[in-house]
Amino acid sequence: MNKPLRRVAIFCGLLVLSLLIRVNWVQFVQADELKNDTNNRRVAIERYSQPRGNIIVGGQAITGSTTNDSGDFKYKRTYKDGPMWAPVTGYASQAFGSNQLEKLNDSILSGTDDKLFFSRTVDMFTGEKQKGGDVVTTLNPKAQKAAYDGLGKSKGAVAAINPETGAILALASTPSYDPSTFAGMSDKDAKAYNALLKKNNPDDPMLNRALRQTYPPGSTFKVVTAAAALENGLYTDINAKTDSPLPWYLPDTAHQPLNNEGNIPCENASLKEALRWSCNTVFGKISADLGNKKMKAEAEKFGYNDAKIDTPVRAAESVYPTDNRPQNAMAGIGQASNRATPLQMAMITSAIANGGKLMKPYMVDKLVAPNLNVVQQHTPEAMSQPLKPENAQKLQEMMEGVVKNGTGTNGQIDGVTVGGKTGTAQHGENNKDNPYAWFISYAKTSKGTPVAVAVVIEGSDTLRGDIAGGKLAAPIAKKVMEAVLDGNK
C-alpha cells in the first residue's frame, strides 16, 4: 500500500502548495489593488483617522475637523459658512465621498500625497501621526460674502476673476447647502444628504451653478460678437455708423424679423451705441455677416467649446456650436444653442479688461505641507489672446458706455471706471419660462483692473426685457466689485 500512500502524500503536498500560491497571489500580486479598492472600508477608516488638512481663504480656514464619538471614523469634516463656500470646497462626507476641491486635493488634505513624502518620513521617525496639508485658495472672503448675500434667496450664481492673473475671487451659487450636515455617516447625515438630491429637491442645491451649469448668455454675449467684428475687421471704428437696417430679417428665413427689446434707436447704430442699447438687430447681423466659422473661432478663443477648463474643479463646457445661418445669427446675441457657464462669462469680461489677454482661471494658489512648506505654487499663465490690445481698448470703451449711460447704470461705482453689459436670456420653448438676468462687468482703477465679474439670476418673476439684467444682476456685481476694491485700497 506504500506506493499509493506516497502519491497521496504528494497530492496533499500539492493541495498545500496550491494554497500557498493562492495566498501569494492575493496578498502579494493583488494586494495593492484590494487594499485601495474604493469599497474597502479601510481606505475610509485610514482617511478619517486623523484630522484632515484645511481649505484656506484669506488666511482663514473655512473647514475644520471634529472628533466623532462613535463608529469607525475618528474625525469628521466641519465647514464654516458652509452654504457660502460649498461651491468652492465641495464636500467630504464619510458616507457619501467627496467632490470638488475636497476630492481633487484629497491626497494633500489627507496627507497621503507623494509631495508630502519628506514630512511624512520625518513624522515616521518622530512618531507623529500623519497630518494633512492645507489648500490655500485665491478666493476673496469679502467678495464671496457680497456675492452670496447679494444672490440671497434668488436662484443664481456669481463668478469673479482677477483679470490680471486669472485668480478666482468669488464663486457663489444659490440655493446652496451646508456640507457639514452630511459630513458624518449617521442616519441624520443620510437624511440630510438625500433631501439635497435633485430628485428630492427640484432646486438642486448641490449643483454648482457658477461652474457646472450652462445658460444662454443672452445680450452679454454681444461683447464677444463685437470682439469678433473688430478682430475680423468687419468694423474698425466703434463710433462709425454700421450697416444695420431696421427691421432686420434673419437670413435664410421667410422674412422672420429679429426684434429688439422695446423701441430703441438701432438703425445703422454705431457699435458703441448698439451695445449701449443692446441692439439685437445690429449684433445679429454682425454674427450673420461674419458667419458661423468666424464667430465660433472667436468664441473659442474666449474659452468656448473647451471641455477641460480646470480651475482645478472642472467647469462645464460652454458651447458655441456649428450651426446654420439663422441659428448662428441668434447665437450672436446669446440665444439659440449658445450656452455659457457664469465662469465663462467672467473669463470673457476679464479678457476684455486685461487688454485682450485671457488668463487661465484658477482657484488654488498653493498647497502647503503640514509643516507649512509650500509644496506646490500656482503661477498665473495666459490661456489665449482673443483680442488685440487696441480692440480690447475699444471694447472697454463700449462697455464703459453701457454703465455710464446705457442699460447698466446700476453697476456704477463712484470714482471707479466700470465697464459692463446686461443680458436677459430668453429661456424655454417659445420663451415661456422666466428669463435669466445677466450682468457682466469689470472695475478699473488707476492701479489696475482687479476684478471682472459675471452674475446670473435664474427665474426671477419681476421684470422682463433687457432692463432685468441691469436691475437684478448689476447691483450684485457692483457689491462684489466694491468688496474687491475695498480690499485693494
For another protein, the binding residues (CB under 8 A) are 1-9, 11-13, 15-16, 18-20, 22-24, 26-28, 30-35, 37, 39-42, 45, 72
Closer residue to another protein (CB): 4 or 59: 4
CA angle 316, 345, 383 (to 5 degrees): 75
CA 276, chain centre distance (Å): 28
Using the structure block, give the residue that is written with the C-alpha cell 439684467: 469
State in angstroms the smallest separation of the CB of 430 from another protein: 43
Closer residue to another protein (CB): 60 or 67: 67
Q: How far apart are CA 98 and CA 53, in angstroms?
A: 14
State in angstroms the smallest separation of the CB of 175 from another protein: 29
- One of 110, 119, 180, 219 is an active-site residue; which one? 219
Q: How far apart are CA 454 and CA 477, in angstroms?
A: 7
Closer residue to another protein (CB): 15 or 240: 15
Closer residue to another protein (CB): 9 or 122: 9
Closer residue to another protein (CB): 18 or 200: 18
State in angstroms the smallest separation of the CB of 71 from another protein: 10
Using the structure block, give the residue that is written with the C-alpha cell 484590494: 34
State in angstroms the smallest separation of the CB of 482 from another protein: 49
CA trace torsion 474, 480, 484, 489 (10° rounding): 70
Closer residue to another protein (CB): 26 or 197: 26
Catalytic annotation on 219? yes
Closer residue to another protein (CB): 13 or 312: 13
> What single DSSP character describes residue 221?
G
State in angstroms the smallest separation of the CB of 113 from another protein: 20
State in angstroms the smallest separation of the CB of 30 from another protein: 6
State in angstroms the smallest separation of the CB of 120 from another protein: 18
Q: Are 270 and 242 in contact (CB under 8 A)?
A: yes
φ, ψ (nearest 5 deg) of residue 156: 175, -170
The radius of gyration of the chain's CA atoms, rounded to the nearest angstrom, is 28
Contacts with 217 (C-beta within 8 Å, 6 or more apart), sequence order: 334, 338, 339, 340, 344, 345, 423, 425, 438
Burial class (CB in 10 A: 0-12, 13-18, 19+), 310: exposed
Type of residue at 397: E
Q: How far apart are CA 119 and CA 121, in angstroms?
A: 5
DSSP string, 272-292: HHHHHHT-HHHHHHHHHHH-H
> What single DSSP character describes residue 96?
T
> What single DSSP character describes residue 265?
-
Catalytic residue ranges: 219
